[in-house]
């Protein structure tokens, strides 16, 4: 792999820096204005619902169809998971599913997205440099099933130690469903890898399993960390740390040339699909109250949990060291 000119090398690094800057800018905006925007959204929602209820037509429908009106009213309650939260999750699930179906249609029919895929792959092949390829390989290994399994085991053990073992079920569903769906997609579409790949990958390209796991597994871990954050700032920091990891995992696959852009995009959609399913299951189990842990002290403290995280990270670095990149 010959080195491109220095100016060309700087193009990809510059784009990466811009993307990370935008993430940092988003974090700053959410930290500074997020609460105010959230309060504004809640006030707007309450005003809209009050205006709809006050409409004469709605009043007549309430009188003619009381059972249907009561059912719809329960669906729009924001203080219960069976109300507005479950409705929004369902709408998000259907939207992501529609996006994935559209992407599949575009790839199968060789639509404009395929032309863009090849142009981007060719452009990346011209501008990447050895340092970028190595760093992309190191980041990409976070999506290897062996590494993900290590983090998964650490997550299950950690949840058991804090007496939240039931939360592992949605995590396993999100991980297993996303991985299974991605593998089935590869077998169904059998899309070849880009010709400019610098790392040998024996499987098919569409959809990207690494991008899928970035959302279905790491996204679920991020959701748990955000949901149980001790303060707003910690929640925002954890959210954007998760988004950065998801972005870097997907970008690393394009930088290595082992995936087209649409492969990563479709992997994100598959991962988001199963992440929504996992989050929905966890929220339902939490709202039901039957799975919430009893008032007992955790089996282990923060030191033990930190040791689990360190062990998972050591396994990751060991895996990278034992599996050096086999460049094509």
- Neighbour count for residue 278 (Cβ, 10 Å): 27
* Domain-embedded: residue 313: yes
Q: In the beta sheet, which residues pair with residue 199? A: 327
Give CA–CA dist 47/152, Å, rounded: 43
Q: Which residues, 6 or more positions from 18, have their beta carbon under 8 angstroms from its beta carbon?
A: none
* Peptide linkage before 207 cis (omega within 30 of 0): yes
* Domain-embedded: residue 43: no
* Average confidence score pLDDT of the chain: 83
Judge whether residue 93 has pLDDT over 90.
no
Residue 137 vs residues 144, 260, 297: alpha-carbon distances, Å: 11, 16, 41
**DSSP of 96-156, one letter per residue?**
HHHHHHHHHHHHHTT-HHHHHHHHHHHHHHHH--HHHHHHHHHHHGGGSHHHHHHHHHHHH
Q: Which residues, 6 or more positions from 246, have their beta carbon under 8 angstroms from its beta carbon?
A: 214, 215, 218, 219, 268
* Domain-embedded: residue 91: yes
Residue 153 confidence (pLDDT): 92
* Domain-embedded: residue 60: no
Query: Residue 295 is part of which domain span?
Result: 6-36+78-322
Number of domains in the chain: 1
21 burial level (CB within 10 Å; 0-12, 13-18, 19+)? exposed
Lowest mean pLDDT among 16-20, 79-83, 245-249, 282-286: 79-83
* Domain-embedded: residue 41: no
Give CA–CA dist 69/34, Å, rounded: 33
Kindly indicate the confidence band of residue 64, based on its pLDDT and cuts at 50, 70 and 90: confident
Residue 121 confidence (pLDDT): 84
Residue 4 confidence (pLDDT): 54
Kindly indicate the confidence band of residue 83, based on its pLDDT and cuts at 50, 70 and 90: confident
pLDDT per position as a tens digit, 18-49 = 988 999 999 999 989 888 988 888 888 778 87
* Domain-embedded: residue 42: no
Mean pLDDT confidence for 261-284 = 90
The encoded tokens of residue 162 equal 């804090």
Residue 16 confidence (pLDDT): 85
* Domain-embedded: residue 213: yes
CATH number at residue 171: 1.20.144
**Cβ pair 264, 250 in contact under 8 A:** yes
Give CA–CA dist 131/16, Å, rounded: 14
pLDDT per position as a tens digit, 193-225 = 888 888 878 888 888 999 999 999 999 999 999
Mean pLDDT confidence for 169-187 = 91
Mean pLDDT confidence for 56-85 = 73
* Domain-embedded: residue 68: no
User: Three-class SS of residue 211?
Assistant: helix
């Amino acid at each position: 792999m010959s080195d491109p000119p220095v100016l060309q090398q700087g193009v990809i690094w510059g784009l990466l820096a811009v993307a990370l800057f935008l993430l940092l800018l988003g974090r700053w905006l959410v930290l500074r204005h997020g609460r105010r925007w959230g309060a504004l959204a809640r006030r707007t929602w309450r005003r809209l619902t009050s205006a709809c209820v006050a409409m004469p037509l709605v009043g007549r429908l309430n009188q003619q169809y009381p059972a249907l009106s009561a059912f719809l009213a329960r669906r729009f309650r924001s203080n219960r998971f069976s109300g507005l939260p479950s409705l929004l999750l369902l709408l998000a699930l259907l939207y992501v599913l529609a996006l994935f179906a559209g992407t599949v249609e575009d790839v199968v029919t060789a639509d404009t997205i395929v032309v863009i895929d090849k142009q981007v792959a060719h452009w990346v092949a011209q501008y990447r440099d050895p340092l970028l390829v190595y760093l992309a390989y190191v980041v990409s290994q976070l999506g290897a099933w062996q590494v993900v399994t290590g983090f998964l085991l650490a997550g299950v053990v950690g949840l058991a130690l804090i007496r939240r073992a039931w939360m592992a079920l949605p995590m396993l569903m999100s991980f297993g469903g996303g991985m299974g769906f991605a593998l089935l997609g590869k077998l169904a579409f059998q899309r070849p890898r880009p010709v400019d790949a610098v790392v040998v990958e024996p499987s098919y390209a569409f959809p990207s399993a690494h991008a899928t796991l970035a959302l279905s597994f790491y996204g679920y871990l991020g959701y748990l960390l955000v949901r149980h954050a001790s303060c707003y700032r910690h929640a925002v920091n954890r959210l954007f740390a998760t988004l950065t990891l998801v972005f870097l995992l997907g970008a690393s696959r394009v930088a290595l040339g082992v995936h087209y852009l649409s492969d990563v995009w479709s992997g994100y959609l598959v991962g988001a699909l199963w992440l929504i399913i996992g989050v929905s299951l966890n929220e339902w189990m939490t709202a039901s109250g039957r799975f919430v842990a009893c008032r007992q002290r955790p089996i282990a403290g923060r030191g033990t949990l930190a040791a689990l995280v360190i062990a998972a990270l050591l396994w990751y670095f060991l895996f990278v060291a034992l599996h050096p990149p086999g460049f094509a």
